[in-house]
Structure 1
Amino acid sequence: MNSIHFDGVSVRVSVDGSDTAKTLLHDVSLGLTERRIGVIGANGSGKSTLLRLLNGLVAPSEGRIVVHGDDTVANFRGVRRNVGFVFTDPLSQLVMPTGREDVELSLRRSVKNSKERAARAETVLTRFGLLGLADQSIYELSGGERQLLALAAVLAVDPKVLVLDEPSTLLDLRNRELLRRTIAGLDQQVIMSTHDLDLATDMDRVLVVESGRIVFDGDAEEGVARYRMLCAAALDELPTGSRTGDVPR
């Protein structure tokens, strides 16, 4: 079953010890088969919750998610072998002093021989043009270089699905374009949340999330247009003088 299925999925959490649960996602049912899928929406809309369900970082309060035949709760280890997750801030997942060590760490479970593991890590770093930075401290690298290292470490184990949570947030224009080209060339299915609407229009399919619900599911350009309309409507509802932001471009 080479696809991802959400069946009646809701997520509720208690906030600050309150007896009343807050619903982050409402009754989501989806089949995700396209090669490139974008997820867009305002901050707090439920995008990150939707993505974290895909590899078991968040468990559904109701419903079920199946990724390539594995239930994300009943077989979360199998799901995590198939789904690689890259966070917005690469420092949240780069845990070793250098990129080389981080890529080798990600390979430790699948490649037992240390010499073979080192060779595989070097191949991965070369593929992403990072070999020259492999032995520098991750704290000496730019945000874009760290993001690419985090991506390389995740892809080193060859997951079937790559999930990216707002990967371009910390990137300058050059590294954003490098990320864009890298994503386009990957064999994996890519599911990505983003505020970058140019990146969103590269996708085969776009989901628009609003207040924990999927309010649009379809063509990328149509999805971006729908999101802009939602943002414009929200701004129109604000009192005069409080409109501090613009509609996304």
Structure 2
Amino acid sequence: MIEIEDIVFRRDGAPVFDGLRLRLDAPRVAIVGRNGSGKSTLLRLIAGLAEPQGGEVRVGGVKVAKDRAGALATVGILFQNPDHQIIFPTVIEEIAFGLEQQGHPRDEARRLAGAALARAGHPDWAERLCHTLSQGQRQMVCLTAILAMEPRWILFDEPFNSLDIPSILRTEARIAALSQKVVTVTHDPARVRDYDRVIWLEQGAVAADGAPGAVLPAYVAAMERLARETPC
């Protein structure tokens, strides 16, 4: 379970969250909301990449902001832009890095990385340069690196952004096939209509929380109303 306990988070003195409390345990959870509502910040807090000024986030009992080793074994995050995540020149180095962070010796990490690439259906990518891959392929490298570490939860921040339709459909299928529990942030309600739970964030607070069939129509209607009321 992801436990978000009364978190307080400010950025440059401005409040993003002020006492947010959530429990996430469904296999597929989606988070929707306007830009600036706190969606991506919430994912970073769940992954332990940001620490709240108040309250606490636990994933599977791990205090992710305090226990980096425990966080790496429990939760992985796929950023909106894979170029913000990839730091090594070759695919095998990129995938092996997280395994080394978990304590695997370098040779063992590379062996496990190669096995992860084989499971992903791309054993021939090992020595390819990451910058030569397409956006969707670089995203696949990032996901493979996460899967190699075998976390219990995987967080996706706008995974369909900047992808063409075939890549969107492939990404959607990959997420659906994962054995891990998933939290997905998206601006595209159609991509999460089959999820188990949808949370609509508005200015750092929960505007609605429940089944997609209830939350998504209300969210879309509110966004359409906002578009009509906002001058071009």
Q: TM-score, normalised by structure 2?
A: 0.93
Identity %: 31
Cα distance per residue 1:1-28 (max 9 Å; x no partner):
xx111121221122xxxxxx21112321
Structure number with larger C-alpha Rg: 1
CA distance in 1, matches of 2:6, 2:163: 35
> Which residue of 157, 165, 168 maps to 2:160?
168
Return the alpha-carbon distance in structure 2 between the equivalents of residues 118 and 76 of structure 1.
Answer: 21
Q: How has the CA–CA distance of structure 1 residues 130 and 198 changed in structure 2, closer, same or farther, with 3 Å as cutoff?
A: farther
CA contact (8 A) 2:50 2:65 kept: no
Maintained 8 Å contact 1:37/1:190: yes
CA drift of 1:76 comes to: 4.1
Of 10, 13, 27, which residue of structure 1 is paired with 2:11? Answer: 13
**1:11 alignment partner AA:** F
Gaps of 5+ in 2: none
* 1:115 Cα deviation from its structure 2 partner: 4.2
Task: Give the equivalent residue in structure 2 for 1:189.
Answer: 181
**What is aligned with 1:139?**
131
TM-score, L = length of structure 1: 0.87
Q: How far apart are the structure 1 equivalents of 2:106 and 2:16?
A: 43
Within a 5 Å distance, the mapping from 1:9-88 to structure 2 comes to 9-14=7-12, 21-88=13-80
SS at match of 1:54: helix
The CA RMSD measured in Å over matched residues stands at 1.7
Q: Which runs of 5+ in 1 are unaligned?
A: 15-20, 243-249
Look up the match of 2:119.
127
User: After superposition, where does 1:206-221 map in structure 2 within 5 Å?
Assistant: 206-221=198-213
| Structure 2 residue 88 is matched with structure 1 residue 90 | no
- Structure 1 runs of 4+ aligned residues shifted over 6 Å read none
Amino acid at match of 1:7: E
Preserved contact between residue 25 and residue 49 of structure 1 (Cα < 8 Å): no
Cα deviation digits, residues 67-120 of structure 1 (max 9, x gap):
111223343442233111110111111111111221122222446344433332
